Structure 1
Amino acid sequence: MSSSFRAPPVPSAGEIDLVALFKVVWEQKRLLLLVIAGVGLIAAAYAFLATPVYSVSAVLRPAALNELDALNRSEVYQLPPSEALIKVGASLESYDTRLAFFRANQKLFKAFERPGRTLEQSFEAFNRNSINLVLPDASKKNSLSAYIKLEMNYPKGIDGVAILNGFVDYAIANEREQIAADLQAIVKNRLNELKGKLDSARSSYDIEKEAKIASLQEADSTRRAQLQDELKALRTQLKTQRSDRMAQLNEAIGIARSLGIQKPTTPSSLGESVRSGASSVMRTEINNQQIPLYFMGVEALKAELTALQQRKSDDFTELRIAQIAKELQMLATNREIEVLNRRENEDIFLAGVQPLRAEVTRLNNLNIDMSRLKLVTIDQQALEPLSAAKPNRLLVVTLGLLLGAVIAVCIALVRHALQVAR
């Protein structure tokens, strides 16, 4: 600057002379233009030379009710659409799912690999800086429906659309496989539970059957023993009666012999024969008193005695013995026990297991095509961006020029203050 430059008059304390400041700055307009141009060039260089960063996003919404109807109607696995969306969102946010997708698609992530880094370290850089899960704001009650938004920022040279869409499909497929595995495990556990109940019913049936057979056998044994005791007692009784009868016959024979009764007679006939001797008159006597046994005569009594002595069994004299023999014969084989032992398909006799069998049949015939199970609706797939998200060249250059202007004004004011101080 020229030494003839005169500083404007200093305003009084507490006042700022804007006109004077403008003149000070304007007098250094060359410096002002150089600084603004320099900073602007730096900003422009950054804006045009920096690696462009692109941004893509995908939006997921709950699936329709009919998409999950087959799974929910199985009565084994209940999955409302909102819960299915949460499951897929959890899979998208899962570190393991992202790492598994990274490992399965390493060709898509070549640009993230750096020398000296392990695969996990390269993935960590991608996972931390590139992909982000956005959930709806719970405080906003005017949201029409639930959704999940997945955003990805990536530099030029990376197929971000393929990565994001592929990752969404991978997470959905992974969650579908997990649900299929859970469904299979639940069905297997339910079948094992039903099998245990059926086995318990069979065991209970076997115990009841054995108890019934034992009860029938015990009843038969008891009845058989009772009949044999009765038969023995009857035979003893008959033997005693036969002995008593033989004793009576011997006594009656002695009396008949002493009275000279050889043929059967009656007291009145005996009296007539004694008085008149032989008579050809036959009389009939009606008497309600029992005629003594010796009136049968010696011949008849000896004949009966001989028959009793030659008798080997008294069973035919008692009708009850034949009945006992019949009952013993029937007890020799219990047809109910035979039928119980001959049962081949005993499952049909199990009580209260029809619902269990129906459930087993239903679970065995359960056929859900998990490959067609639609967990979520992809409302918006990632599309190739039309322009880079970063840097915004116009904004960067504009901010650079404004920053240059501020720096230039500050430099001009500082220079002026230093000159005034001299």
Structure 2
Amino acid sequence: MCVTSISRVLPVVPSSDIDLLTVLQSLWKQKFLIAAFSLAVGALAGIYALLTTPEYKVSTTLRPAALNDLDALNRSGVYSLPREKALISVGAALDSYDVRLGYFRANPGLFAPMREDGQTDEQAFEEFNRNSIKLVLPNAKKELDLISAYIGLELRYPKNVDGVEILNGFVKYAIETERQQMAADLSVIIKNRLNELDGKLDAARAAYEAEKASRVATLLEKDNLDRAQLQDELRALRVQLKSRRAERIAQLNEAITIARSLGLKKPTTPSSMASEGESGGNVIRTEVNNQQIPLYFMGTDALEAERNALRQRTSDDFTEPQVAQINKALMLLKNNRLIESLKQRENEDVFLQNIEPLRAEMARLNKLDFDVTRLNLVTIDKYALQPLKPIWPKTSLMIITGLMLGAMLGILVAIILHAVAQRGRDLERFTKNA
């Protein structure tokens, strides 16, 4: 009952409102505390800045090459490389993981200070590639031209590292790598062009060989056909001559029979036979007769002699001039000089048609001597230079920030202490009043 009555009589202590003037007066009284916190935190920030390894940053800028640097390559007709494309190719090489790794492995001495104990080459490179080097490109939202186009490269590195040599060397390495790749591409393109031209020449040679073989076959076929026709004509003509000789022999046999029956041994004429039948006297007869004198008037002697000669004849070729002409034609057909000339050609390439442009292009490609190692793919507008001061840590900024944070912490502590003291005073007054 007593406790309950006391709780009803004693009111809850109200939270007093914060008086700004009182708070400011309290903060002023604790100014040394605030200053101590500020100096302490500022000192810690300064010590951290002094103990932190300084980091430096260098950068380089690449711009498109001059127009005359790529003119010879573009005029070669083999490889086309506009200036903006060359810049993009070099930028791709600078951003390439393989190119960066190749440069890292090729220069272990430059990257030795950046490698921590226990790190493998791959781990050290991953940290370098992720945190140290950065490719800078122009704003892609803007419409760029060759004047405003550029590619930048930044490198952050700690103290005791030759960042200038690393960045400039890497830029040269990337450009040289792109040159080598371009030289390899150019060599492959020229080789492929030459192989293509060789293929066209081989096709032209094959077509020529096929045409020559077809022409030779056509000529041989024509010669064989002409030879067969002439031989057929010669055989037919000889059969005709033999038949004519047999007919002549039959005519001579009939004429010999008639001449024997008439007693004609010597050649005579009808008028001579008529004059022998008349009485003696000097009679001169003139015979005008358009008809052919019968063969038996030649007499048996002449007729038998002709018949014997015909029977002993072994060939009738000499009696027909056409036989000699046929034999002449057959003799000419034994050797076709055009076919021999076609088969005896030594340098057949000179007879190929429409290949002069191919040979000219092959000669041009074989004599194409383009030194890619002297090709300027880009213009290095700005080389990396030794920085005057590190970009991190910013000692002044860190100390100022530490002082401000210390002051804020001191003020917070002072406010808490003031609130605690004020609460204690309020409780004390309440206790006295009770």
> How far has the Cα of 1:278 moved from its partner?
8.2
1:358 aligns with 2:360: yes
CA distance in 2, matches of 1:186, 1:409: 76
Mapped contact 2:49–2:395 kept (Cα < 8 A): yes
TM-score, structure 2 length as denominator?
A: 0.89
Aligned to 1:4: none
Superposition pairs of residues 38-117 of structure 1, within 5 angstroms:
38-117=40-119
Mapped contact 1:60–1:147 kept (Cα < 8 A): yes
> How far has the Cα of 1:115 moved from its partner?
2.1
Of residues 175, 186, 205 in structure 1, which corresponds to 2:178? 175
Query: Residue 139 of structure 2 aligns to a residue in which SS?
Result: coil
Aligned to 2:224: 221
> How far has the Cα of 1:255 moved from its partner?
0.9
Change (3 A) 1:402 1:272: same
Aligned to 2:128: 126
- Give the alignment's Cα RMSD to 1 decimal: 2.0
> How far has the Cα of 1:173 moved from its partner?
0.3
Aligned to 1:6: none
Mapped contact 2:114–2:161 kept (Cα < 8 A): no
Aligned positions, number: 409
Of residues 182, 189, 199 in structure 1, which corresponds to 2:202? 199
Superposition pairs of residues 12-411 of structure 1, within 5 angstroms:
18-141=20-143, 144-276=147-279, 281=284, 283-411=285-413
Aligned to 1:421: 423
Change (3 A) 1:279 1:404: farther
Mapped contact 1:273–1:279 kept (Cα < 8 A): no
Mapped contact 2:23–2:418 kept (Cα < 8 A): no
Structure 1, residues 49-68: CA drift from partner, whole Å, max 9, x if none? 32111000010111112111
> How far has the Cα of 1:10 moved from its partner?
5.8
- 2:255 partner letter: A
Change (3 A) 1:278 1:31: farther
Structure 1, residues 275-302: CA drift from partner, whole Å, max 9, x if none? 3468674x55333323322222333322
CA distance in 1, matches of 2:281, 2:181: 127
CA distance in 1, matches of 2:181, 2:280: 128
Query: Residue 60 of structure 1 aligns to a residue in which SS?
Result: strand
Query: Residue 419 of structure 1 aligns to a residue in which SS?
Result: helix
Structure 1, residues 122-164: CA drift from partner, whole Å, max 9, x if none? 1111111110111111113377421110000001100000000
Mapped contact 1:54–1:155 kept (Cα < 8 A): yes
Identical positions, percent: 58
Mapped contact 1:112–1:123 kept (Cα < 8 A): no
CA distance in 2, matches of 1:26, 1:142: 60
> How far has the Cα of 1:242 moved from its partner?
0.6
> How far has the Cα of 1:306 moved from its partner?
2.7
- 1:348 partner letter: V
Query: Residue 278 of structure 2 aligns to a residue in which SS?
Result: helix
Mapped contact 1:253–1:298 kept (Cα < 8 A): yes
Change (3 A) 1:393 1:278: farther
CA distance in 2, matches of 1:310, 1:219: 39
Mapped contact 2:132–2:155 kept (Cα < 8 A): yes
> How far has the Cα of 1:303 moved from its partner?
2.8
Structure 1, residues 200-236: CA drift from partner, whole Å, max 9, x if none? 2212211221221122112111211211111111111
CA distance in 1, matches of 2:225, 2:134: 86
- 1:223 partner letter: D
TM-score, structure 1 length as denominator?
A: 0.92
Query: Residue 137 of structure 1 aligns to a residue in which SS?
Result: coil
> How far has the Cα of 1:262 moved from its partner?
3.3
Query: Residue 411 of structure 1 aligns to a residue in which SS?
Result: helix
Query: Residue 200 of structure 2 aligns to a residue in which SS?
Result: helix
Compare 200-209 and 170-179 and name the one that shifted more: 200-209
CA distance in 2, matches of 1:91, 1:142: 21
Query: Residue 297 of structure 1 aligns to a residue in which SS?
Result: helix
